[in-house]
Copies of this chain bind each other. A is one copy, B any other.
Amino acid sequence: MTTDMSSLDPRIIARGREFFASISGESPSVFNKGWWTGKVMDWSMKNEDFKIQMFRFVDVLPYLNTSESLSRHIEEYFAADDSNIPDVLKWGATKTKIGGGLVAKVLNKTIRSNIESMARQFIIGQVSKEAVKGIKKLRKDGFSFVLDLLGEATVSEVESDAYRDGYLEVLEAMQKELSKWKPLEGGNNDLDWGHAPKVNVAVKPSAFYSQSKAVDLDGTAAGMMSRIEPIYKKVMEMGGFMCIDMESLKYKDATIELYKRLRTKYPDYPHLGIVFQAYLKCVDDDVRDFLAWSREANLPVSIRLVKGAYWDYETVMAKQNGWEVPVWTHKPESDMAFERVSKMILENSDICHYACASHNIRSISAVMEMASDMNVPDERYEFQVLYGMAEPVRKGLKNVAKRVRLYCPYGDLLPGMAYLVRRLLENTANESFLKMTFADEADMDRLLENPEVTLRAQLEGKTVPPEPSEGLARFQNYPIVDFTIEDERKAYPAAIAKLRGNMGKKIPLYINGQEVETSDTLDSYNPANPDEIIGSVCQAGVGEVDRAIEGASEAYLKWRDVAPEERAEVLLKAAQYLKDNMHDLCAVQILEVGKQWDQAQGDVAEAIDFLEYYARETIRLGEPRRMGHAPGEMSQLFYQGKGVAAVIAPWNFPLAISVGMVAAAIASGCPVVYKPAGISSVIGNGLTDMWKAAGLPEGVFNYCPGRGSVMGDHLVDHPDVSVIAFTGSMEIGLRIQERAAKVQPGQQQCKKVIAEMGGKNATIIDDDADLDEAVLGVLYAAFGFQGQKCSACSRVIVLDPIYDRFIERLTEAAHSVKLGPAENPANYMGPVVDKAALENVLRYVKIAESEGKILVKREVSDDLKATGGCYAPLTIVEGITKDHRIAQEEVFGPVLSVMRAKNMDDAIDIANSTQFALTGAIYTRSPANLEQARKDFRVGNLYLNKPSVGALVERHAFGGFKMSGVGSKAGGPDYLLQFMDPRLVCENTMRRGFAPIEEGDDWLS
């Protein structure tokens, strides 16, 4: 049974008018300017900067445990410029002793209590007792409820357990009261309105499994199930209803999968719901598929449809990751989808109960009219609104539809503040229906019009920005893999299997356009299974190196003069080759160096980025720059490649860093002799294939793996090498610099050494840090790819006041991750890169044990141990101070030192106390400390409220100073200059007193 929307529209509008009429003159309390919240909302809507500061301040407030800390933050957030606290914040405080730079205690208390009461407006209680009491009151007012426990950000399995227990506890508490609750009107049995269970809870599934991730759909669904099932059992026991909430897109498929498993496992119990979000572009398909599944499985379902609460997050993440934006980008499109999908659900009311969750009177009216048009029985749909929001709407709804359920969060104010911020944002967003209706007092006709009409009006007159007509498009990072896409999840195992069928072969050198075999070879093995040989790689001796340099020197004479645009073209073709072979290239990394799927993809993506970026850079730098403005003179600065470059690459970003250094040289006009790390020489051979595919002229790239002890010095010392680009350890880097500085007989140029060396990177945890993010950030920065990144966090410096809380959560989080081969995407950490690396890490673990107190030392299972894989224990050690070796020496493995700091000065002092200055991170919500870190935490790449790893080309142009490197930045605007010599040509254009006047000349005006 369907309905014709266009004919329905006048009725929807009519009903909407009625609705408005019925609540005429009322306004949600949140907009009541007589009260503090209303004032803040009002001020926030008028002043974007204040809004940002206010909401951020609300967010951090629960962490501000001392009066000093509270005062400081109030000043930092609100009085930075004029040391005047905005009046709105002083509301309710006694007028005496207020103002000036120092914030009086009374103001502190006032602000805190104001914000807490604002939060309480949206949160039904802080503990289960309060929650149950609140519910009772609501029911007395004729509203049913759905209860939601705050605090879904769990970083460890212990926290997930606790979260589950929280639900069980509140259910227990309700169970005791349940019998006293009279069914809501129309109830002729124990069910509200005669059909709805009295108890209704919502669960956010990712909270129940701290290891949830999109790539591991099966494991994630199983993990969620393991803790949600006991709750569901309890709900069933109580005859209640459970709704599985929908969170961000990355958990969507696992959430649907969870629903299906749970629903199938208990086929006879119908009161299980799920949420779909109308703002997702895929919502129509998802709901259609879901209903089809229901029908096919013959399992009635229940759907709550919402617009969606993570629009900003989804959009920002998509933009940051280079993905298509998954949500509608015009508000009316979400409204349209809401009506469209509501219609679909109502058309399936025989198998699908519908909870319409919106505050939008147009949307509500549409659902009402459609349901009435389709004669959907009352018991097949209900309305839901949020507790504490839109009181006029809930009142109007109750008048008309009776069946109104309030979504009631409860729990600690700490997670509650995050919830509060979401609600505040929702109420102050420009396109918020509530804001438009109650704050802006928009025209009712506009509010009720068909969203299609609204959309048309919005799009009208909007011009599509023109594509750049010539030249390359602006550089954009290659997208991070999106594992919400099923094809991506399938492609990795397929590529690994394909590789396994075709590996272990002998790999020749590639010199001056020819494949060259040597008798000496080196086997490269899978660190998770050393018996598995990835390839047997020919090893260059000094003879091969000489031939390679000779070929490169010859190629230089032509390549340096090839037009920058032409060189760029070759790089772009190389990038295309990598894009076309993405999964195969990832597979080699997964097996040869033990990279997790996402890490491998990140590495190949970075290689693509280097090619795309340097292609643009060589064009940019290739344009001669006019110097000065003198008439009669044309002076131009331009660059030429320095000469042959020796590229000595590491194994940890085996493709990215190799391609980066090689592409920079080649883009700059310098032919390359490339020595990959022995451990990753098979990946390195990918460069040969890549440049061949790109049509690079012979001799410009030479693949020259070899034993450092045999040919390393020879390569560095060679008089015909002009540039040495090296990434690796400090020891080797310094050796190269020293040797390269010695001029050899016949040498015609000073050698340029570009060296990226080690790090001993610190992350500072301020006492107001958002621990939900900080714990996961540190964990990832320290143990991602087994800590084998020069950017890895190897020291976490924690401020004393938050030390215990942070360490507890970190420790538990570390105990929660899965260990095992990288090819299984469930595993968080795999083997280190080879046996030598394992030995080195074990040596440092011993040092750690002797210097501090081990908090975590996690080994893989005995089964895995038996495979002979190079598994180093995940190690966290505390009690470390500046003087300890483990605080000073680079481990390059999964060993994290925890250091305690008295205060921020102390923390920054500790952070800066090594000879390295590569990366760093700080988690803080103090504006002043962010500024201090920006200034005084002196490293090449500093991340504020972000992990110190995962640098992206251009955006996070990468490289350090002190003993971390020579101060270049790979993927940055100055990088190519290092491979180039500047030349200036100045022409006297005056002849016989006559000079043509050029554009830009400093001529007569």
Chain A residues with a Cβ under 8 A of chain B:
48, 52, 55-56, 59, 310, 312-313, 315-317, 319-320, 325, 329, 418, 421-422, 425, 462, 464-465, 474, 477, 561, 625, 627-633, 635, 637, 640, 642, 734, 737-738, 740-743, 748-750, 752, 755, 770, 915, 917, 925, 930, 934-935, 938-946, 952, 954-959, 961-963, 965-969, 972-974, 977, 980-988, 990-996, 1001-1005
Contacts and interface: CB of A to CB of B under 8 A. Distances in A.
A738 B749 contact: no
B313 A942 contact: no
A627 B956 contact: yes
Given A988-B945, A991-B56, A1004-B329, A320 B633 contact: yes
7 contacts: A421-B991, A738-B741, A940-B981, A942-B986, A955-B986, A967-B980, A974-B982
Given A770-B991, A977-B974, A632 B319 contact: yes
A932 to B, nearest CB: 12
A983 B938 contact: yes
A316 to B, nearest CB: 4
Contacts of A474: 629
Given A319-B1003, A325-B1004, A955-B986, 9 more contacts: A55-B994, A316-B993, A421-B992, A465-B1005, A642-B961, A750-B962, A943-B987, A944-B986, A956-B986
Contacts of A1004: 315, 325, 329
A27 to B, nearest CB: 24
Contacts of A940: 981-984
Closest A-B pairs by Cβ, 8 of them: A628-B955, A741-B741, A313-B993, A961-B981, A944-B987, A316-B632, A967-B981, A946-B988
Contacts of A967: 642, 750, 752, 980-982
A170 to B, nearest CB: 24
A741 B630 CA distance: 41
Given A320-B630, A640-B938, A983-B942, A750 B741 contact: no
Nearest to A561: B935
Contacts of A966: 750, 752
Contact of A627 (B48, B957, B977): B957
A864 to B, nearest CB: 35
A737 B748 contact: no
Nearest to A48: B996
Residue in A750, A939, A955, A958 whose Cβ sees the most chain B Cβ within 10 Å: A750
Nearest to A1001: B319
Given A748-B963, A956-B635, A969-B637, A996 B465 contact: no
B944 A988 contact: yes
A637 B973 CA distance: 10
Contacts of A961: 642, 749-750, 981
Contacts of A734: 743, 750
Residue in A640, A963, A990 whose Cβ sees the most chain B Cβ within 10 Å: A990
A991 B981 CA distance: 45
A539 to B, nearest CB: 28
B935 A994 contact: no
A179 to B, nearest CB: 39
Contacts of A995: 312, 316
A725 to B, nearest CB: 14
Given A316-B631, A319-B632, A963-B749, A934 B994 contact: no
Given A329-B1004, A984-B957, A952 B628 contact: yes
A984 B963 contact: no
A941 to B, nearest CB: 5
Contacts of A986: 941-944, 946, 955-956
Contact of A320 (B632, B737, B938): B632
Contacts of A310: 993
Contact of A957 (B637, B770, B959): B637
A606 to B, nearest CB: 14
B748 A962 contact: yes
Contacts of A462: 1005
Residue in A320, A635, A738, A984 whose Cβ sees the most chain B Cβ within 10 Å: A984
B637 A749 contact: no
A310 to B, nearest CB: 6
A630 B956 CA distance: 11
Nearest to A313: B993
A808 B264 CA distance: 105
B982 A422 contact: no
Given A319-B1002, A940-B982, A955-B986, A52 B477 contact: no
Nearest to A955: B628
Contact of A942 (B59, B981, B985): B985
Nearest to A757: B750
Residue in A418, A630, A957, A1002 whose Cβ sees the most chain B Cβ within 10 Å: A630
A24 to B, nearest CB: 33
Nearest to A995: B316
Nearest to A311: B993
A582 B991 CA distance: 33
Contacts of A55: 991-992, 994
A640 B740 CA distance: 26
A939 B983 contact: yes
Contact of A955 (B317, B633, B750): B633
Contacts of A312: 990, 993-995
A862 B257 CA distance: 106
A819 to B, nearest CB: 28
A628 to B, nearest CB: 3
Contacts of A319: 630-632, 1001-1003
Contacts of A965: 750
Nearest to A420: B992
B477 A628 contact: yes
Contacts of A1002: 319
Contacts of A749: 961-963
Contacts of A464: 1005
Nearest to A974: B977
A114 B477 CA distance: 62
A711 to B, nearest CB: 21
A743 B966 CA distance: 13
A833 B755 CA distance: 41
A743 B730 CA distance: 11
Contact of A982 (B59, B329, B632, B969): B969
Residue in A625, A961, A995 whose Cβ sees the most chain B Cβ within 10 Å: A961
A939 B640 CA distance: 10
